[in-house]
Every structure is written in structure tokens, then in C-alpha cells.
Amino acid sequence: MDIQKIINEEHQGKDPVCAYVYDLQQLKSHAESLKSSLPDFCELYYAVKANPDPHVLSALTPIVDGFDTASEEEMNKAGGERPLLFGAPAKKDREIASAVEKGIRYINVESLHDLYQINEAAGKSGKVMPVLLRVNLRKDVPESHHMMSGTPTQFGIDEYQMPDILKAAAGLDHVDVKGFHFHAMSNNLDAEKHVAFTGLCIQKAKDWAGAFHLDLETVDVGGGIGINYWDPGTPFDWTTFVEGLQQLEKEAGDMTVILELGRYVTAGCGYYVTEVLDVKENHEQAFALVRGGSHHLRLPAAWKMSHPFQVIPVDRWEKNWPRPGVVNQDVTITGELCTPNDVLVRGEKVDKLRAGDLVVFEYAGAYAWTISHHDFLSHPKPQMIYLNE
């Protein structure tokens, strides 16, 4: 992708460059490859939380089996062309009622209270709502970046409480337990451990289904497949993962296994492009200050990491004073906010970086723009550029 050419053609106004660039053809090709490689007993759902941009959702709608949503507005954005799942740790009555009225495929149950709320909402509509019980396992994949189960969190039902929840559900008229949801991790990079986790989920679901005479339909193993921001040349091994899934087909039997992938689907299609405004040294350290920052791309500041980037040299320099820059030096790339936490890159070596050059942050198609605090200091928002619509 020729970022310089794209910016030259698309950049609006005289302000320094600051834009998100989404390659929608790359997104579609990647999603189609993931979908076609999965075994027949697996379904690919897109986790809208990763990037709810309407252009992204429109590109994915013909490809994925459905959408995983976490709010009423995400349900509305995903639309009705594909089945929907709805899961969130703190549901509002209005959201549950909306999910029931939309006739979505499943609602995740996070607690006994949650179960009663869903039963009440479905009863008011004269419906029976299919649900998945979200489990917080006592053992998990410890190598993942963020743990959502296997440890005390606000997510899901303690594995040890599952018998009580199943007994309560059996006495309710307007919920129908169709399976279990095990989303448990974020940004796991170990394919073999992800296969093992999937196998564990299938076995746990079968055990509970047998003990409580459930018509087990679905095991949702969530998402959590990661992007290697630290070493992009060593990505998650999707081939190994798929081969491992194929070995689980007999164990799954008639069950459908749902994968809720978000980051792994969209991260690679997005680029955050910023212009360097100044380069200076402070306490013997080099800093490059860019137009934009963590209010547009919060992830590197949140995870205290250096986001993968490349420098696009721009030869033009129209000022009548010396051009600041560094050569063959470690540099910290920061944004325009009045906080020392506005850091995108932490002490990484560059061959050359000057004011007026462009910095392109890769893997910015997920958990980037929409998780960021856009209005802090009221700077202008970045331009949005969509390629290959």
C-alpha cells in the first residue's frame, strides 16, 4: 500500500496530516480466508466491539456467520442481515428487552440476577429466549494479555456455581439454555494453547449437558486470538489452530462451536497516519511529537507498549529554518496532549525521522479509534479514509 500516494490524494485542508486509513478489500480477503479455513462445525462471528465502523461492518456482513454485540447500539449497528449474540456484564432492562424483541440468536447470562432479568423480559413479550451461560472457569490460558476468567473478574458465572444456575434455569418458563459461553482471554498468541482451551470448553459443556439433561446446541469459545504488536513477524499461528480444531470435530459431535473474533479480523486493515510536528531532545532522550496521539490511538498507552510503525519520509520542507530530526537514534513518539501518558512509541530506533515526515501505525483496525478519549483537549478529529469500498 502506497500510503504517501493515498495521503497526497485524500488529505484535506492545510492542517498537518492525521488520518485513519482502512483497506476494506484487505479486510474482506482476510475475513474470507478465515471463514473458509474453519471446519464445518465452527462458525465465525465478528465481535463488533473491536471496530464498529459502519464501513467495516458493511464489508463483513456478507462474509461472517453473525455478529457478537455488547450493547443495544451495537445490535442496531450490526443490523438484521446476520444472527446476533448479545453479551455484557451489566445489562440494562432496555437492552435485554431490545434483544428479545429483535429475536437475536442468543443472550449471554452473566449471573443469577441476569438470568431472572432475561426471563422477565422474555415473559413480558410472551417469548422463550435462547441463552448461553457465560462461565468463569477456574483454570484458563495464563499466557493471554488480559485475563477474563480463571481469576476473579466481573465476567461470567463462577464455574463452581454452575449447578445452582442450571437448576434455577430449569424452573423458569421463558429462558432456554442452549449452551455455554467461555470467552476468557484477550490477545492470546499461542495457537496450541488456544486449541487446548477450545477442547476444554467443549468437554465442560458436554459434562454439564449430560448432568442436567440439556439440549446442548452451542459452545461459544469467544475470541481472544491476538495480534503480536511486539514482534509482528511472529504472528498467531492460524494454520496450527485450524488443524487443532479439525481434531476436535468428533468430540464436538452435533454441537456448533462459535468463535467471536474481533481484533484478529480487523486489526490488519487499519492504519493510523500522523505527521511529525517537532523533534527534540530532553534529558538526553529524543522525542518526536506528532499531530494526534493517544486520544486517537489509545491502545499503546493503555498497554504501555510501542505500537508497530513505519516512517514515510517526506522530502518537502518549506520553512526557512533548520529542519529538526534524528538520525540512527532511539526515539519516543508522543502526541499533542498535555499529559506524559500520551506515548505511542517508547524508545525505538529509527534510521531517520524529521519534522514533516509521516509515521504510519500499523494494526490500527481494532481497539483503536473507538476506545480512545477523542474529546480530551478538543483537538480536531482525524480524517477517515476508506479504500476499495
DSSP code, position 383: E
The conformational region for residue 81 under phi > 0 = left, psi -120 to 50 = alpha, else beta, is alpha
Strand 66-69 relative to strand 42-47, pairing:
parallel
Cα 64-69-73 angle, rounded to 5 deg: 120
Residues forming a β-bridge with 136: 158
Identify whether the C-beta of residue 75 lies closer than 8 Å to the C-beta of residue 102: yes
- List 18, 42, 269, 338, catalytic entry: 338
Is 18 a catalytic site residue?
no
In the beta sheet, which residues pair with residue 153?
none
Alpha-carbon distance of 218 to 109, in angstroms, equals 14
Which one, of 235, 265, 319, 362, lies nearest residue 64 by Cα? Answer: 265
Count of CB atoms within 10 A of residue 213's CB?
9
- Residue located via cell numbers 467495516: 56
Catalytic positions, please?
Answer: 338
